[in-house]
Amino acid sequence: MEAREERLILVDTADQVTGSAEKIDVHRRGLLHRAFSVIVWDSEGRQLLQKRAAAKYHSGGVWTNACCGHPRPGESVKAAALRRLGEEMGFACPLEWLGIVQYHASFENGLSENEVVHVFRGRYDGPVTPDPTEAEDYRWCAPDRIQRDIATAPDRFSVWFQRYIAEEWPVARMPPGTGAPISGCNLSRGWNMTSDKSTEAPDRMADALTRIVGDLAADSGTIHFLGADQQLHLAAATSGMPQPVLDIIRTIPVGKGMAGLAVARGEPVNACNIQTDTSGDVRPGAKATGLAGSIVVPIFDGETVVGALGVANRAERTFTDDEIARLLEEGRQLAAERPAS
């Protein structure tokens, strides 16, 4: 399968298509392209690893996640992931999209990977029959064993899999269940609803967030409020956010990430592209959303900061002074409607 000419989808840092090119040429020139990785768990909480065939065009003979590859022009990323899982490992299972990782790595043979990687996960408990031209071995391994092995012998593992382990969210353990994709959620469950109007507050927060995101032509948004523990708690999030990202942002320490910094500083925190940001304001997990242009403003109740309102776009974006002023005013209105904590 490696010998057949294959064209890859070229993209920019916001994962917008810019063209296509032949696979080996892409890797020789280090062109940014779209890719996917699949993480597979069994019901015992073990992760499926494959040992790449020695004859692979790079990274042959090393251990990595269950499956990885590239969608073809005109093919969806999920369809490609399902196709390659069957071709490489000989089975199929439902897949859940988790988020996006971007990385660049060079290899001794002169090739390099420069990828925007869509990460999927699934659960499977049946037989595994790898194509030996793709994977020469496989094993089911507990997460703590994987971490120990990478710490002691990192050269035995692919560079991208090491990246996933370091960032943690791509290999977040799949919760118990049937193996079907896990749906996202819109609202935090962390609020202690005590007032007469508080049972309606989550719906009001979600409705307000939907309106704000739409009015600003954004693609995503979140609302957090400070709790009695002086941490930010998720009050609303737009649908479609990966579950591991929701788990990460459900509680945010003040001073950490864009939302925590907006509260700590009492001023907006803006990132033209969170995928390439080097300011230190963006937490690594934020890149999992696949979003680019982002801003978080503090929510004020009078002169007191009580939360954070964030919106983002898939493409690069710098928010104008007028848009920032509008978000700050929206925040003041949200403060008046916030649930009792």
Mean pLDDT by 10 residues, the chain (341 residues): 72 90 93 95 94 90 95 93 95 90 86 91 94 95 92 92 84 59 30 33 77 89 90 85 74 91 94 83 71 92 94 90 94 85 54
The three-class DSSP label of residue 253 is strand
Q: Is 320 left (phi over 0), alpha (psi -120 to 50) or beta?
A: beta
What's residue 163's pLDDT? Answer: 87
Query: How far apart (Å, rounded) are the C-alpha atoms in residues 310 and 294?
Result: 7
Instruction: Give the range of the structural domain holding residue 126, as residue numbers without chain letter.
Output: 7-171
Residues 105 and 237 reside in one and the same domain: no
Torsion over CA: 128, 133, 139, 142 (sign): negative
| Cβ-based neighbour number of residue 179 at 10 Å | 17
**pLDDT at res. 196:** 34
Dump strand ranges (E) for 169-291.
220-226, 231-237, 251-253, 269-271
Residue 186 included in any domain: no
Q: What is the pLDDT of residue 186?
A: 30
Structure tokens at 153: 């012998």
Q: Are residues 11 and 46 in the same domain?
A: yes
- pLDDT for res 284: 65
**For residue 145, is it within any domain?**
yes
Query: Quick check: is 176 in a domain?
Result: no
Assess whether 326 and 211 both reside in one domain: yes
**Separation between Cα atoms, residue 32 and residue 11, nearest integer Å:** 6
What is the gyration radius of the CA atoms in the chain, in angstroms?
A: 22
Given this model, what pLDDT does residue 63 score? Answer: 96
Whole-number pLDDT of residue 194: 29
205 and 138, same domain (yes or no) = no
Residue 1: the pLDDT is 39
CATH number at residue 21: 3.90.79.10
- Choosing from 171, 187, 220, the residue where a domain stops is 171
Is 68 a known active-site residue? yes
Q: CA torsion angle for 202, 204, 207, 210 (degrees, to 10)?
A: -70
Opening angle at CA 237, ends 167 and 38, nearest 5: 35
Domain membership flag for residue 190: no
| 8 Å CB contact between 219 and 291 | yes
Work out the widest C-alpha separation in the chain, in whole angstroms.
67
Whole-number pLDDT of residue 277: 80
Residue 188's Cβ-count burial label (10 Å; 0-12, 13-18, 19+) is buried
**Residue 14 pLDDT:** 83
Q: Report the pLDDT value the prediction gives residue 219, as an integer from 0 to 100.
A: 86
Task: List Cβ<8 Å contacts ≥24 apart for 203-212.
Answer: 204/337, 205/235, 205/236, 205/334, 205/337, 205/338, 205/339, 206/236, 208/236, 208/330, 208/333, 208/334, 208/337, 209/236, 209/237, 209/238, 210/238, 212/309, 212/311, 212/327, 212/330
Instruction: Say how far apart CA 105 and CA 228 lie, in whole Å.
Output: 44
Dihedral over Cα of 277, 282, 283, 289: its sign: negative
Q: Give yes or no: 115 in active site.
A: yes
**Distance between CA 35 and CA 29 in Å, rounded?**
16
pLDDT of residue 206: 84
CA dist 252 and 41 (Å) reads 28
The CATH number for 229's domain is: 3.30.450.40
Checking DSSP bridges between strand 17-22 and strand 33-41, what pairing results, if any?
A: unpaired
Please tell me whether residues 208 and 255 are part of one structural domain: yes
Whether 58 and 148 share a structural domain: yes
* Catalytic annotation, pick one of 67, 68, 96, 134: 68
8 A C-beta contact, residue 340 and residue 198:
yes
Q: What stretch of H or E contains 212?
A: helix 201-215
Q: How many separate domains does the chain show? A: 2
88, 96, 113, 115: the active-site residue: 115
Q: Which H helix or E strand runs over 161? A: helix 159-167
| DSSP 8-state symbol, 269 | E
